[in-house]
Amino acid sequence: MRIFSRVPTIDFMAQRKRALVVSALLTLGAIILLATRGLNLGIDFKGGVLVEVVYPQTVELDNVRAELARGGYPEAVVQYFGGTSDVLIRLLPDPTASSAEISTKVLASLDAKANDVQLRRVEFVGPQVGEELKQDGLAALLAAFVGIGIYVMFRFEWKFSLGSIAALTHDAIMTLGYLALVQEEFDLTVLAGILAMLGYSNNETIVIFDRIRENLLTLRQRSVRDVINLSINQTLLRSIITHFTVLMVLSSLYFFGGKSVHGFAVAMIVGVLVATYSSIYVSSGVTVLLNLKREDLLPPEDKDEKIKAEKLAKAENDGAVV
C-alpha cells in the first residue's frame, strides 16, 4: 500500500516560528501545572506498605483489586510477583496501623481462609526510600538528556545537538504536564515509560537529521530551509507508519493491559503524539534558528578547500596577483 505516490512538498518550515511560539506557550502551561497541581506520586515515591500473598492457583488481578477495594483499599496497586499465583500488593502508608494490623485487614479483605491465601511477607517502604527514588529518577532523566546530547553533537553537529535536546525537553515537560493535569499516578512504571518515550522521540529526530545532513552535502544548489523541508517530506511516510504501529500497540496496552501498565501506556501515548510534532517542528526549527549552514557539516579538508577558493575569488575580484 502506498500512501504517497511521490514525495510530498509540504512547507513545514514556513510555520516554524509560529510552531515554536505555540510549543513555548504549551511548555510554559505544563510547567505551571507541575508547579500548582504537581504529580500524583505513587507508593514508589511516597512510601507505603508492601504485602506479598500466595494463592493456591492462578488468580485474576482484577478480582484481587475488587476485593481490596471492598475491604477499604481502593488505591492498592496489585501485580504479579514471579508467577500468576504470587501477588504483590502495595498500599499507601498508614502511620496509625502496625504491620500485623495491616496484614490482618488485607487477609480479611481477600477472605484468606476461604480462598486458602497465605501471607508471605509485609514490608514498610519509608518516605526516605521514596525520596531516594525521586533523586534517582531525576538523575536518570538528566543522564538520558546528557548522553543523547553528547551523542548527537559528535555524530552530527552541535546545532543539531541543541535541537535534539530542545525537542526532548519539550516532550518530557509536555508529558509530565499532561500527567499532572489528569492526575495519573506517577510511579516507577510511568517513569520507565517517559524514558522509553525519550528514546523513541530521539530516534525520530535522528532519522530526520541524518537525511538533512545527507541532502545538505549532495544538494549544494538548494537552500538550507529547502533541504530541511525536503528531508522531512522524504521521511514523512516512514514516520506515519512507525507512529501508527506504535500507537496500535500502546492502545492495546491501554485498553487491555490492566491497571499495572495503564500509567505506562498513558505516558507513552502522550509522548509519542508530542514527539511526532516536536521531531518536525521543534528540533528542526531550532537548528534553523541557530543558522545551520552547509559548511557546518563539511569535512575539515572540504572546508579548507572552500576557504582557499573564496580567498582566491576575492583576490581576483580585487585585481590582486595570486
Integer Cα distance of 198 and 275 in angstroms: 8
Give DSSP secondary structure letters for 198-247: HHHHHHHHHHHHHHHHHHHHH-TTS-HHHHHHHHHHHHHHHHHHHHHHHH
Task: Retrieve residue 299's grid coordinates.
Answer: 569535512
Report residue 105 CA to chain centroid gap: 38
From the list 166, 48, 34, the residue with the least C-alpha distance to 97 is 48
> What's the full length of the chain, in residues?
322
**Which residues neighbour 104 within 8 Å (Cβ) at sequence distance 6 or greater?**
none
- Block residue for cell numbers 563539511: 298
Please tell me the predicted confidence (pLDDT) of residue 143.
Answer: 83
From the list 53, 161, 37, the residue with the least C-alpha distance to 115 is 53
Q: List Cα–Cα distances, 18 to 129, 140, 231, 279, 293, in angstroms.
A: 44, 32, 20, 15, 22
Number of H helices, E strands in the chain: 12, 6
Please write down the HEC assignment for all residues of 84-117.
EEEEEEEECCCCCCCHHHHHHHHHHHCCHHHHCC
> What is the pTM for the complete model shown?
0.76
Cα dihedral 35, 40, 41, 46, rounded to 10, equals 100
Residue 296 DSSP one-character state: G
Sorted by where each starts, the structural domains of the chain and their CATH numbers stand as: 12-39+130-291 (1.20.1640.10), 48-125 (3.30.70.3400)
Strand 185-186 relative to strand 40-41, pairing: parallel
Please tell me the predicted confidence (pLDDT) of residue 303.
Answer: 46
Give the SS3 label for residue 256. Answer: helix
Integer Cα distance of 203 and 220 in angstroms: 26
**Which residues neighbour 107 within 8 Å (Cβ) at sequence distance 6 or greater?**
53, 117, 119
Q: Is 75 left (phi over 0), alpha (psi -120 to 50) or beta?
A: alpha
Please tell me the predicted confidence (pLDDT) of residue 77.
Answer: 81
From the list 105, 69, 63, 113, the residue with the least C-alpha distance to 87 is 63
Task: Retrieve residue 65's grid coordinates.
Answer: 483489586
pLDDT in tens, the chain (322 residues): 455 567 777 888 888 888 889 999 999 999 999 999 888 887 777 777 888 888 888 888 888 888 888 888 887 888 887 778 888 888 877 777 776 788 788 888 888 777 788 888 887 776 666 677 778 777 877 887 788 778 777 777 788 888 888 888 899 999 999 999 998 888 888 888 888 888 888 888 888 888 888 888 888 788 888 888 898 888 888 888 888 898 999 999 888 877 778 889 999 999 999 988 888 888 888 888 888 777 766 655 544 455 555 555 555 555 544 4
Integer Cα distance of 309 and 186 in angstroms: 59
Please tell me the predicted confidence (pLDDT) of residue 176.
Answer: 93
Residue 5 DSSP one-character state: S
